[in-house]
Structure 1
Amino acid sequence: MRVDAQLNRDKIIQAARLIFVHEGPDAPLEKIARRAGVGIATLYRRFPSREDLVMAVATDTLRSLNTAVRTAAEEQPDAFGALRVFMHAALDLKVGAIMPSLLGRIDVEDIIERSGDALDHVTELLQAAQAADEVRADVLPGDVIFMVVRLTRPLPGRAVAEDAALAHRQLEIYLDGLRSPGASPRHDALPGPAIGSAWFRRIRARMAGVAPSAARKATRAA
């Protein structure tokens, strides 16, 4: 495949992943093409049917997840650092949001067989971090996987523009909870956004459909 064709294919898959998260696999293909910055004819040249695109998104997501955990294990100097890097990468892939949205349209086991299974690598990282007394001994692989799944689900209503950044902040808090009592102390501060009470009230008002002026008034009154 030519470089420009591969680039267009990658852009379409990335755009489809983001749109499928919010609208599901039946989202308009024209909308995906616009987000990818390509024409609808280009999309159909790369993916002749919707099923082809859905399969490509699922395969690319799991393949990228598998690559992320292997890369983290190879590049990070310690197992806990590798686990941390992998979990942040999994958030960026939105794996816990995109894969459930495609269930019923894909054969997950077939895709895992072709893309590789990240679970074995995650288990190895976790066990290595526990052996180094960096992670609590009672933490299991499911604790890692399902926390990623929870944090990659978007908040309702798209009321929080900082949703993705907030998930990374909350992951850092969760990672601290994984650490064993004997682990090295944390030295760096939590990343943003730091949502205080006033900011949360404004977000809550947007979720509830309250007018911005009313939300500001409620914040001042508080």
Structure 2
Amino acid sequence: MDVVAAPRRTPRTTRAPRAPRADAVRNRERIVAAARDLFTEVGSQAPIDEVARRAGIGNATVYRHFPDRDALVLGVIQHVLKRTGDHAEQAVAEVDDPFGALSRFVHACAEERIGAVCVVLDGAYDPGEPEVATLTGRLNALVEAMMARARRAGTLRADVDLGDIILAVGQLTRPLPDLAGYHRGPHRYLQLFLDGLRAPAPSTLPADGAW
């Protein structure tokens, strides 16, 4: 009795995921940039219509990339945290002077609108979101490393900590009220802040809540 061989099956090839089209990538970047600026100005409840208008695209395109407001808020937080972390890495790698590296990072935070994160962190996302936790940990570690270098060099006062840097930079990179035309942009005030961080310190910082 002849044995009939079963037909050989051609193994199914698995296609690699298709890379996003260039125009889709550009649209997403425009959406995140517009939302970041708007969140910095008015908070995470900014109208999606205004995000779309500033990005120069339609509402439907926004919702294709971000199905709801929570997804958009999360996208902005991830973008800002990653970009500021990248700036911190570059400052450490490219600036030999420890305090100069910290200064460069602080001014870069203004360009990245890090104040947007301070606005949207107020209950606008799940703090346990894994990527946000990873990006936050990376950023904090890099800033701590910059501060430690500057302290060892004797150029950063010893009584400031990570919270002082993050909170001050976050507040000073948000839009400030223009009182009688005095506002001159965040970099001026960030430089005044940086000058106050230099050692030797001319004063002692008060304890929490004290004066």
TM-score (ref. length: structure 2): 0.76
| 1:149 aligned residue (144, 158, 170) | 170
Provide the identity percentage: 39
Tell me whether 1:57 sits opposite 2:76 in the alignment: yes
Shift of 1:97: 4.1
Contact in 2 for aligned 1:24/1:102 (Cα 8 Å): no
Give the residue type in structure 1 aligned to 2:150: A
Contact in 2 for aligned 1:25/1:54 (Cα 8 Å): yes
**Structure 1: how far apart are the matches of 2:156 and 2:181?**
32
- Per-residue CA deviation, residues 109-153 of structure 1 (Å, 9 max, x unaligned), is 424324242111111111111111122222322222221022123
More moved, 53-62 vs 110-119: 110-119
Shift of 1:3: 1.7
Structure number with the bigger relative contact order (C-alpha 8 A, sep ≥ 6) is: 2
| 1:131 aligned residue (152, 160, 165) | 152
- The number of aligned residues is 180
**Structure 2: how far apart are the matches of 1:131 and 1:85?**
18
In 2 relative to 1, CA 71–162 (structure 1 residues): closer, same or farther, beyond 3 Å? farther
More moved, 109-118 vs 48-57: 109-118
Give the residue type in structure 2 aligned to 1:34: R
| 1:44 aligned residue (63, 66, 72) | 63
In 2 relative to 1, CA 123–51 (structure 1 residues): closer, same or farther, beyond 3 Å? same
Q: Find runs of 4+ consecutive structure 1 residues off by over 6 angstroms.
A: 158-162
- The SS at the match of 2:57 is coil
- The SS at the match of 2:108 is helix
Contact in 2 for aligned 1:33/1:39 (Cα 8 Å): yes
- Per-residue CA deviation, residues 34-56 of structure 1 (Å, 9 max, x unaligned), is 10111222212211222211111
Query: Aligned-pair RMSD on alpha carbons?
Result: 2.3
- The SS at the match of 1:180 is coil
**Greater helix percent: which structure?**
1
Shift of 1:8: 0.9
Contact in 1 for aligned 2:98/2:150 (Cα 8 Å): yes
In 2 relative to 1, CA 159–93 (structure 1 residues): closer, same or farther, beyond 3 Å? farther
**Structure 2: how far apart are the matches of 1:109 and 1:162?**
40
Structural mapping, 1:23-172, within 5 Å: 23-110=42-129, 111-117=131-137, 118-156=139-177, 166-172=185-191
More moved, 168-177 vs 100-109: 100-109
In 2 relative to 1, CA 97–50 (structure 1 residues): closer, same or farther, beyond 3 Å? closer
Shift of 1:90: 1.4
Shift of 1:57: 0.9
**Structure 1: how far apart are the matches of 2:24 and 2:143?**
33
TM-score (ref. length: structure 1): 0.72
In 2 relative to 1, CA 112–97 (structure 1 residues): closer, same or farther, beyond 3 Å? same
In 2 relative to 1, CA 2–45 (structure 1 residues): closer, same or farther, beyond 3 Å? same
Give the residue type in structure 1 aligned to 2:193: Y
Max radius of gyration: which structure? 2
**Structure 2: how far apart are the matches of 1:141 and 1:102?**
17
| Stretches of structure 2 lacking an aligned partner (at least 5 in a row) | 1-19, 202-211
